[in-house]
A and B are shown apart, each in its own frame.
Chain A
Amino acid sequence: MAQAAAAPKKKVEGVPEKLHVWPYLVRLEFLCALVVIIALTVWSIVIDAPLEEAANPTKTPNPSKAPWYFLGLQDILVYFDPWFAGVVAPVLIIVGLMLIPYLDVNPKGNGYYTYHERKVAIWVYCFGFLVLWIALIIMGVFLRGPGWNLFMPWQYWDPHKVVALVSVDLPYSFGFRDYTWSAIFGGGVLLAYFGIGTGVYFFMERKALKSVGFLRMFLKIQLALIMMGIVIKIVLRIGFNVKYIMVTPWISI
């Protein structure tokens, strides 16, 4: 008797591990569908979809905002040129996401919730998703006003608000006035960032190199460095008024 009471709760006698999908899953799906459809119907009765005045190519609204789910990317436009924020960054996000299963070779945490067995993976994903994607969207929807300036919710959206553009390029603030030399300096800074970052990572993880493989580790750290680089650039712009790290006639970063 005492033993039976102490036994783990889960092992209830007579309850099979495998269940029939009909009815156990199908009825759950049915209930779930019912709830969702009712919620959708009520929502659609209560709130109307927006319809503004007819499209007018001569009347540009200020601010012009992309659909809300792209506002994270639109916000990155403040800190990066369109070729990066609008094209390269989305491609990197998509490719990076697709690579996740091939880069994360930690066999633990497959099929159950765990934080302790895969701390780094959880942190990286949560940071990317919750901060760089969701938080930027929330900011873009609620705090970005005319001229893409930041407005607090209680502030008036003044279309004539002027924010002084005081940011300068990094090479310039280091005293480089010549085009060629500042391009070389900026390129050097970027190369050093990626080079040192990769080197340090490979040194710290040198024991894992054999089991994880060179290509995997290399791609992993490049993607991580790019993601961190975006954050660094944002901080440099807001905190130190840095415009570009590297300026060339073709691309500027």
Chain B
Amino acid sequence: MANKAPQIPGIAEFIHKIKSGEIFTEIAKEITESQLWTSTFRHGYADTPRNRVLQIASNVWLHLHPVKMHRHALRIKFTWCMGGITFLLFLSTVVTGVILMFYYRPVGEYAYYDMKYLQYDVPFGMLMRNMHRWAAHAMVITVWLHMFRVFLTGSYKPPREFNWVIGVFLVTFTLLLSFTGYLLPWDQLAMWAVTVGTNMARATPFLGNEGPFAEYVGVTPRYDARSLLIGGSLVGPPALLRFYVLHCIFIPLIAGALMIVHFWRIRKDGGISGPL
């Protein structure tokens, strides 16, 4: 029973390592102790309390979180996860929206045909458009639900009054984001929904040409609150350009800034509210 097979000690050892699972520990060690890894992450890899803290505190993407939190705030039954989902949907619209911007021109002659092009010729164009639109609609719903939950748990009470106020700005901007985007496909649905919506500005007291007391201010259909919004006396190409700039630059910047303040305040106000 002489073992005639050539003995290469390396292989036996190697197979043993695979069988015992030791190999994975070694690979992990090799990676996590490499210069590439240690220069990227500012904390060790081992699951120690210290590293759990650093994982949050030394990571720019996670550092808005506290490092520790109350057990009750983890319950989905309490928060419904709605604020977080709203934020996630916002991020989804940012990503898909930037992709749409590569193909879309906010010009009367082009806009509608760019939509067609996106839908039929651009790879994954239809999917990007769908995701952008449905995420935007879903965000409107989730932000309402988030607000409802915050009301039901009384989380606007001291010391969180101001964060509620920021929240009301956020829900307003969420609706405005959705509304300005509604015009961009430049189809019948878009044009007339926005006509109905912006017609209201015409009735602004003092500042709209059909509003109460307008005659004392002297506003006209060409120069009033509505024409400021849509760049003319009806929803035409200037309105398209205006809504595009508002939709892609102005409102997202403001809403994004307010979200940062919102998250920062959650922490400064003592984290998610709870019975204490």
Assembled-state Cα–Cα distance A86/B196 (Å): 10
Q: Mark B62-80, 1 if CB is under 8 A from A, else 0.
A: 1001111111001010000
Which residues on A sit within 8 Å (CB–CB) of B275?
111-112
Assembled-state Cα–Cα distance A70/B265 (Å): 29
Determine if B92 is an interface residue (Cβ-Cβ < 8 Å): yes
Assembled-state Cα–Cα distance A51/B88 (Å): 26
**Number of A interface residues in the complex (CB < 8 A):** 75
Which residues on A sit within 8 Å (CB–CB) of B212?
83, 250-251
In the complex, which residues 77-109 of chain A have their Cβ closer than 8 Å to any Cβ of chain B? 81-83, 85-88, 94, 97-98, 100-102, 104, 106-109
Determine if B99 is an interface residue (Cβ-Cβ < 8 Å): no
A130 closest partner in B (C-beta): B148
Determine if B53 is an interface residue (Cβ-Cβ < 8 Å): yes
The answer to whether B168 touches A94 (Cβ under 8 A) is yes
User: A65: which of B144, B193, B199, B204 is its contact (CB, 8 Å)?
Assistant: B193
A21 closest partner in B (C-beta): B65
Interface size class of B (residues with CB under 8 A): 35 or more
Which residues on A sit within 8 Å (CB–CB) of B224?
none
A118 closest partner in B (C-beta): B154
A44-B127, A111-B274 known; A32+B84 contact, CB < 8 A = yes
Assembled-state Cα–Cα distance A114/B157 (Å): 14
The answer to whether A59 touches B188 (Cβ under 8 A) is yes
Which residues on A sit within 8 Å (CB–CB) of B76?
28, 32
The answer to whether A21 touches B205 (Cβ under 8 A) is no
The answer to whether B131 touches A44 (Cβ under 8 A) is yes
The answer to whether A94 touches B134 (Cβ under 8 A) is no
The answer to whether A83 touches B187 (Cβ under 8 A) is no
Determine if B151 is an interface residue (Cβ-Cβ < 8 Å): yes
5 of the cross-chain contacts (CB-CB < 8 Å) are A22-B67, A36-B85, A37-B92, A69-B178, A87-B211
Task: Give me the interface of A with B, judged by CB distance under 8 Å.
Answer: 15-26, 28-29, 32-33, 36-37, 40-41, 43-45, 47-57, 59-61, 64-67, 69-70, 73-74, 81-83, 85-88, 94, 97-98, 100-102, 104, 106-114, 118, 121-122, 125, 129, 250-251
Instruction: Add 16 more A-B contacts to A40-B92, A55-B112, A111-B157 (CB < 8 A).
Output: A19-B74, A26-B55, A26-B65, A32-B81, A33-B88, A40-B131, A44-B131, A52-B188, A54-B112, A64-B192, A82-B200, A82-B203, A86-B201, A107-B157, A109-B154, A110-B154
Task: Give me the interface of B with A, judged by CB distance under 8 Å.
Answer: 49, 52-53, 55-56, 62, 65-71, 74, 76, 81, 84-85, 88-89, 92, 112, 115-116, 119, 126-127, 129-135, 138, 140, 144, 148, 151-158, 160-161, 164-165, 168, 171-172, 175, 178-179, 182, 185-193, 195-197, 199-205, 208, 210-213, 234-236, 273-276
